[in-house]
Structure 1
Amino acid sequence: MANISQPSQGAWTRMLPSSTAAFHRISALLTLAILVIAFSFASPAFLSVNNTLTILLQTSVIGLLGIGMTMVIITGGIDLSVGSVLALSGTVTGMMVKAGVPVVPAMMLGVCMGAACGLFNGFVVTKMKITPFVATLGMMLIARGAALQLTGAAPISQLGEAFGVLGNGALFRMVEMGDNGFPRVIFPGIPYPAILLVVIAIAASYMLRRRAIGRHIYATGSNEEAARLSGVLVDRTKLIAYTLSGALAGVAGNVLMSRLITAQPSEGVMYELDAIAAAVIGGASLMGGVGGISGTMIGAFIIGVLRNGLNMGGVSSFIQQIVIGFVVIGAVYIDQLRNRR
């Protein structure tokens, strides 16, 4: 049996960056640039500092979910539960804060709840041999029902200013008192959610490209049987991928609920589709074995910019769903063409 940490080069050929994958990322980046230019011409306020910060905040949640989704998709799976797990994790955090637990430990408990949901997904997929689509669909219903049952379908409010620091705080924010006695923002600062997204994206990219577990994730999605014969613990690799996806959904839940300063059990509906769209637009293949964090970040910003620009243009949320749906179909079609080649 081959050494797990030093597999043969032939076993990992598909995981290495290819010119096709690089071209896909460049195409996504060009698409993002075209959207930014088009919306900036359509609305002069699109490139304003405040709107740019709004896009960063909106994209941070999609990006966090997309990172976890990318890992699962690379293994050849899918996670339909991230939106519901986001709501459950944020609800658990809110309940802990309401019960008197300090904010940081409460948020850690929320992330642990998300990780536990992801671990359960992985267990059902690997041990019960249920397809990822059905397994995570079941968890989507379980997590959403648990969040609504725990709260009686009512939001948890009055969580205090400390709870809103993560979602609404910013690094290097500069404020001074004006002559009228009201504070005036000189520099809005870099939002904490955006900083958190960058840190997690860098860590996830390093793990996928430089650590053994990352190589195993790619190998599992490229050819599961070949990976198993090469010494990869395929079931453990899938468990780790789903657990990380759940944990990142927990982090996203904390960020979103902190922005609202209210724990909403009904939040996160359809967020899993945005996460899948971000990953696929960024170059992840639903066939497994292909994908990267940098591409997912580009995909997340495409979704964020598209939603923001359409909002500023007065386009209804229903039309936005139609547009995003066509974008997803187009991205998957391009992925199929790439696989045929």
Structure 2
Amino acid sequence: MQRLSAILTLFLLILGFSLASPHFLSVNNTLTVLLQTSVIGLLGIGLTMVIITGGIDLSVGSVLALSGVMSALAVRSGIPVVPAMSVGVLTGAACGGFNGIVITKLRIPPFVATLGMMLIARGLALQITGAAPISGLGRAFGQLGNGALFRITETQPNGFPTVIFPGIPYPAILLLIVAIGAAYLLRRRQIGRHIYATGSNEEAARLSGVRTDRTKLYAYTMSGALAGLSGNVLMSRLVTAQPSEGVMYELDAIAAAVIGGASLSGGVGTISGTMIGAFIIGILRNGLNMSGVSAFIQQIVIGFVVIGAVWIDQMRNRN
């Protein structure tokens, strides 16, 4: 029912904003929604794995910023773009792995452990950069965030290019590939079944032979790695590494997972549901922006949406 209600909500949002503005369903605005949703979607996929285990990760926004900064510093040092971005992903995976070790070995609650990492990662990003953005990263660094597949341009008589078809943004393609891979992992691979078993009943899973600590470590490492990938996408779009980016992104990602049907109690959640939730958040923000609604009101609206989704989850658990 929660998945169906999320799909219905998405359809009603598209219908409502389409009637409110004739430009909402334009090609350019659709591509804008895809770009805006890609970062939240990538973060949401990682958080879905963590939430299914019964945990939470509040550090993904700060890890995003730290990873983007590390990628930019690697580019500035002369490393080619692809290996440099790999540094950012590895930085995110290391932060996620640290979360997993603290949670499984020190037995610190996930909320507290990831809250600590949120402060550590943000502090590192600001300290390394001196709280100043890193610019001058070159055109190649911006290709991931601003490039598009099948883009068609035409040169005018005055020598300036005109975009005939904007193409499919690379971040949207990346989101699709990661979502398919994560869904396959959760549904078809042993580690995916272990993630669901750990979240459903950790003690029963442990007694059945599931290495629950290793499963949690895997989930948090994946969440961190995807936060690092999101950092690359976001900083590439800006062609500048901003150590202050990613603030409150973790809440949007958690909202996407919960709206899509993931249970904060663990054991329940799907990647497809999270993608629906991410597009609900993205379309809601985009439509409210086009309607001239202030960013403060948008926060209020999304806050009520999250409360409603969690309430539906609680009612489902009681039943």
TM-score range, shorter chain: over 0.9
Match of 2:75 in 1: 97
Match of 1:112 in 2: 90
How far residue 181 of structure 1 moved from its aligned partner, in angstroms, is: 2.5
Verify: 1:300 aligned to 2:278, yes or no.
yes
Match among 11, 15, 36 for residue 58 of structure 1: 36
How far residue 180 of structure 1 moved from its aligned partner, in angstroms, is: 3.4
Match of 1:194 in 2: 172
Match of 2:243 in 1: 265
CA contact (8 A) 2:2 2:312 kept: no
Counterpart secondary structure, 2:24: helix
CA contact (8 A) 2:260 2:276 kept: yes
AA at the equivalent of 1:171? L
Match of 2:261 in 1: 283
Q: Distance in 2 between matches of 1:158 and 1:309?
A: 33
Verify: 1:141 aligned to 2:110, yes or no.
no
How far residue 25 of structure 1 moved from its aligned partner, in angstroms, is: 1.4
Counterpart secondary structure, 1:194: helix
Match among 225, 234, 240 for residue 247 of structure 1: 225
TM-score (norm 2): 0.99
Offset from partner CA, 1:317-341 (integer Å, 9 cap, x none): 1111111111100100000000000
Q: Distance in 2 between matches of 1:211 and 1:44?
A: 44
Counterpart secondary structure, 1:216: helix
Matches within 5 A, 1:136-175: 136-175=114-153
Matches within 5 A, 1:14-93: 23-93=1-71
How far residue 26 of structure 1 moved from its aligned partner, in angstroms, is: 1.8
Q: Distance in 2 between matches of 1:331 and 1:282?
A: 8
Verify: 1:330 aligned to 2:305, yes or no.
no
RMSD (CA atoms): 0.5
Q: Distance in 2 between matches of 1:213 and 1:128?
A: 23
Q: Distance in 2 between matches of 1:271 and 1:155?
A: 19
Offset from partner CA, 1:278-310 (integer Å, 9 cap, x none): 000000000000000000000000000000000
Q: Distance in 2 between matches of 1:300 and 1:49?
A: 19
Q: Distance in 2 between matches of 1:121 and 1:219?
A: 20
How far residue 176 of structure 1 moved from its aligned partner, in angstroms, is: 0.6
Verify: 1:222 aligned to 2:200, yes or no.
yes
Match of 2:106 in 1: 128
How far residue 46 of structure 1 moved from its aligned partner, in angstroms, is: 0.6
Offset from partner CA, 1:140-175 (integer Å, 9 cap, x none): 000000000000000000100000000000000000
Query: Hey, which bits of structure 1, 4+ residues long, moved more than 4 A?
Result: none
How far residue 24 of structure 1 moved from its aligned partner, in angstroms, is: 1.8
Sequence identity percentage: 80
How far residue 27 of structure 1 moved from its aligned partner, in angstroms, is: 1.4
Q: Distance in 2 between matches of 1:175 and 1:329?
A: 45
Q: Distance in 2 between matches of 1:213 and 1:247?
A: 17
AA at the equivalent of 2:266? G
CA contact (8 A) 2:149 2:167 kept: yes
Q: Distance in 1 between matches of 2:117 and 2:279?
A: 27
Matches within 5 A, 1:177-188: 177-188=155-166
Verify: 1:233 aligned to 2:211, yes or no.
yes
Offset from partner CA, 1:87-113 (integer Å, 9 cap, x none): 000000001111111100000000000
How far residue 178 of structure 1 moved from its aligned partner, in angstroms, is: 1.9
AA at the equivalent of 1:122? G
Structure 2: runs of 5 or more not aligned: none
Match of 1:9 in 2: none
TM-score (norm 1): 0.93
